[in-house]
Structure 1
Amino acid sequence: MNAVVSDLPTSHPTVRFGKVGVLLVNLGTPDGTDYTSMRRYLKEFLTDRRVIEWSRLFWYPILFGIVLNTRPGKVGKAYELIWNKEKNESFLRTYTRSQAELMGKALADSPNVVVDWAMRYGQPSIASRIDALKQAGCERILVFPLYPQYAAATTATVNDKAFETLLKMRWQPALRTVPPYHDDPVYIEALAQSVEKHYASLDWQPDLLITSFHGIPKSYFDKGDPYYCQCQKTARLLRERLGLSKDKLMVTFQSRFGPEEWLQPYTDKTVEELAKNGTKRIAIMNPGFVSDCLETLEEIAEQAGESFLHNGGEKFTHIPCLNDSREGMTVLETVVRRELQGWAVA
């Protein structure tokens, strides 16, 4: 039987409306460097089917029998080396929070916009922040995966989790997702300026600039992932903007995991071979990372630098990510304002 007006509840909780949410999302971070925190984080990360596409029958015995028993301790020690001791958190969390706060200030001319941040793995979760934005009156939410180049294991899994959150909602906000911006002129210009400023701070000049991107298994590329091509385009546009010849800028891929072939050339092997073959001075940057993190601060600035110098290199420098710099925030703000068109005053 249909309800009549008098049968409906007469009191409701206050419903906020009229706001537009912007949710910045990065990969994730453990809550601490201890074994339990690292295992919890790695479990969430390595059980994501977008990250590890192997059959669960094959992967889970390895993951739960070996990886999650041995890797938390090793990774925890690596995080200890680059942990933000002042705030007792990873620098990825520090920078992502700062980016959200600065974005909020930059969009102060759009009073109906609310900016928040989340992590795909760990806390704060995407689901919790989408819910918080909805409770704040956001009827529309722009989800911004903080990856310039698209990969199924990064961008797509952020989008998956956002839409999965909506699946559980009766009253859903409208949702937009930010596309990759690997060839956006403002992004290329910011990268170029970061190189020029860093070079100007040195009392020597690098013979070679290496752009090291996070790798993906080659099989993912073979299945149609555009990531490799977008990394190559970013590097080409950067090289052209800097006016470098093809032999002065190199593309490599780092952070491989497991036994299968990943995108090549590998950063670690390349750095070692360059040093052994007579290259004396190199600079490495990580254009695919919006914020410095374990993979840039420990794997590149520390490990790659040590390997280069140990094998005969003389000068090594790591160019920081854009982080929450003025140039970096200009990139993020430009992308957000473009994607908010029609939703908020720009």
Structure 2
Amino acid sequence: MRVGVHKVLMNSPADVAGLERLIEAGEVAPAEIVAVIGKTEGNGGANDFTRALATLSFALALARHLGITPDAVAKRIAFVWSGGTEGVLSPHATVFTRSAAPAAASKRLAIGIAATRDLAPEEVGTMVEVRLVAEAVRRAQAEAGIADAADVHYVQVKGPLLTPAAVADADSRGARLVTRDPNGSKPYARGATALGVALALGEVAEAALGDEAIARRMDLYSSVANTSAGGELSKCEVLLFGNAEGAGGDLRIGHAVLRDVVDAEGVRAAAASAAGEPGELREPGAAIDPAGIAAIFAKAEAPPDGRLRGRRTTMLSDADIHYERHARAALGAVIASVTGDGAIFVSGGTEHQCKPGEAPIAAIVRV
């Protein structure tokens, strides 16, 4: 099995021209598309409807090629969108395909996809969500053919947050919620899904977990989870990436930990991890060939105390711009300065995704 990675730029959340060009050129077969991960130019909040628009637009386009309904496309293909393209971040989509291919001589990129059942509003941000995600991660790892959890380098999970409609539904049934604030539910939703990844991969023990730990016990975390929450979903979709024996193609994936939003060496370390050459690319100031990088996925976080390497920032005190938008813009510029490409996936909010102040980064490279 060979995984293909195809990046298309977007002029709006409804722009599918790039995808259509790949299909017309024969570079992408619609029947082989299994997932799409992208960035849209919304605000990234609970009322960011650019994500749903992008899913609808891609589903409509692919429905024509596949001869099925848009709803069937959305069930067949995993769509994960992150809103917010502040600074130099460029709206884009990364299209993943799977096709038959002979095995390579060494481990190559593999992908596994799974989804939970629909979650009730009162289950969002709770241990119910943690366990459901853990089960889905295990299924995705098995589907990818990855035997060793150490070969898993990136697990993208997109799940639901609490919309006003979800809050009203819970109220009508007398159900207890983790919070009544839609935007305030994001840390719980992202945190629960990240802990689900950590539980499945053995990064935390279930005995250490509980509802009271979610979005509070930040000493519990995954180093490879990248989680998001949106109002357009009712279930959690899991996309697991790693390197597997028997996989074909010329792509590998690796990961690293960013110690802050200006950690350029962390970007190089992720690329080095994927290339399997830890010494060469970790040299200070070493260049990275942009042509060799197929995609980068990262999380951005503000410093826990607002101070970045001893200097005060206003990320956490700015009443006009949410800290996630500050962090995405800063990290996007740093990654683009290293790779020369602003079409990178950077999302905000790192609850239970690395230690506080740190963030995960994964790179897919050609080898």
TM-score (norm 1): 0.28
Radius of gyration: which is bigger? 1
TM-score normalised by length of structure 2: 0.26
Report which of the two has the higher share of strand.
2
